[in-house]
Amino acid sequence: MNNPDNQVLIDAVTLRMPFGKHKGLLLCDLPISYLEWFVRNGGFPPGKLGMALSTVYEIKLNGLTDILTKLRSKYR
pLDDT digits (tens, 9 = 90+) for 29-56: 999 999 999 999 999 999 999 999 999 9
- pLDDT higher for 2 or 71? 71
Provide the mean pLDDT of the chain: 94
pLDDT of 5 higher than 90: no
The helix (run of H) or strand (run of E) holding residue 38 is helix 32-40
SS3 15: coil
pLDDT of 3 higher than 70: no
Residue spans per domain, the chain: 4-74
What is this structure's pTM?
0.90
List of residues 6+ apart from 51 with CB closer than 8 A = 8, 11, 44
